[in-house]
Amino acid sequence: MIKKLWQRMWTASPLPLAVLIIIGGIGGIIFWGGFNTAMEVTNNLEFCVSCHEMQPVYEEYKTSVHYQNNSGVRAECPDCHVPREWGPKVIRKIQATNELYHKFIDPSIDTPEKFEANRLRLAKNVWHAMKETDSRECRNCHAFDTMKIDGQREKAQKMHPKAIKEGSTCIDCHKGIAHKLPDLSAASKQAFEMLKEQSRTVSYNADHLTTLATANIYLNEDDSKAAGRVLPATTVEPVDASGERVKVKVSGWSQKGAEKIIYAMKGQRIFNTALGKTAVPMVKRGETITLESTGQDWTEVSFTGFMDKKDMISDADALWSYSGELYENSCSVCHNAPSPSHFLANQWIGVLKSMVRYTALSKDEQRLLQKYLQLNAQDTGGKGQH
């Protein structure tokens, strides 16, 4: 029977079927090999970086633990961005024709400005894809059941069992693990520009002025050396606006033993001004109160000095509403931003410190946010200056 079939294959048609099968087979192997070679050469860091070198993603990745770590296991671009399984991998490669389009026909990331403008959109694509696949690429290397959770950092020990129970996926909590997060405050940046605009036409004879940025305060009008620094969102009282600089009074509270700092409220570490040594003797001191809760002595104080006429507005509410927006935009990417009243004013310092590394906030934005949260905390309830 087999013999018969064999003979027919060689004789039945002008081009025997067997020859066809062999040619087809060889062709298939060549095509298959070529295809896989194409998949291989397009699936390594060098290839990715040939287009992505100019953007910060590569530099940021090189400082991450996925580039270099104690174990010496490196995750390269395709490890996180290209599926290993054949089917999804082919689909990803086909999707990559969009990248070719944006490389050659409608460049979207060829300058740092364009990249920044597109970064949030691209990051959202990645987050969406990872969420859809239950972080499949992460799980090629990591898995909950091979993790020694009780040997992990404290926060991981708390969150991983919760993640397993609630079925949340790696990317829900681990955004920004290889690159910096996109600057989500872009919309608020525009709002801030409007506040700056207001500051250019503000009257320095107003009853109150509120600072938009950290600013120097001087003992004398023509000093070049500052006596201290007034922090953002501090409301000062203009005393004399006739000169080159405006003479202002900063008020607040100081704690015994930390006289260089003027805080916004007694008992709360909400910063208004940090003074240098020379300025401290010039501080006017009022009544001292011993707080029952802590036994600390707090004194009502004020300091009068000169500030440059810039970056102040008279409408503090505009600054607070901007701060609220900045908070929502920066802190609700990975989880809902908790209500400011969820923590005590002094607790917010530590909470914010552990979270700002996840954000692209500037130093002054961090200070502003901290003050906003502290002044709306559980134990200040939006009293203070708000």
Residue numbering of the annotated binding site for heme = 48, 51-52, 77, 80-81, 138, 141-142, 170, 173-174, 331, 334-335
Q: In the complex, what is the shortest distance from the CB of residue 66 to ligand HEC, in angstroms, rounded to a whole number?
A: 4
Q: In the complex, what is the shortest distance from the CB of residue 11 to ligand HEC, in angstroms, rounded to a whole number?
A: 50
Sequence length of the chain is 386
* Distance between CA atoms of residues 184 and 111, nearest Å: 19
Of 26-34, 133-141, 228-236, 313-321, the segment contacting ligand HEC by CB under 6 A is 133-141
Residue 118 interacting with ligand HEC (CB under 6 A): yes
Which residues share a beta bridge with 255?
Answer: 258, 298
Per-residue buried b or exposed e for 103-112, using 16+ beta carbons within 10 Å of the residue's own CB:
eeeeebbeee
Residue 7 interacting with ligand HEC (CB under 6 A): no
DSSP class of residue 267?
A: T
**Max Cα separation, the chain?**
114
Q: In the complex, what is the shortest distance from the CB of residue 141 to ligand HEC, in angstroms, rounded to a whole number?
A: 3
- Supply 128's token pair: 């969406």
Of 83-91, 123-131, 282-290, 316-324, the segment contacting ligand HEC by CB under 6 A is 123-131
The one-letter amino acid code at 87 reads G
Write out the DSSP string of 22-88. Answer: HHHHHHHHHHHHHHHHHHHHTSSHHHHHHHHTTSHHHHHHHTSTTTS-TT-PPPPHHHHHS-SSHHH
Q: Which of residues 147-206 bind ligand HEC (CB under 6 A)?
A: 152-153, 155-156, 159-160, 162-163, 168-179, 181-182
Q: Which of residues 210-269 bind ligand HEC (CB under 6 A)?
A: none
Residue 108 interacting with ligand HEC (CB under 6 A): yes
Q: Which of residues 45-64 bind ligand HEC (CB under 6 A)?
A: 45, 47-52, 57-58, 61
Of 28-36, 119-127, 250-258, 277-285, the segment contacting ligand HEC by CB under 6 A is 119-127
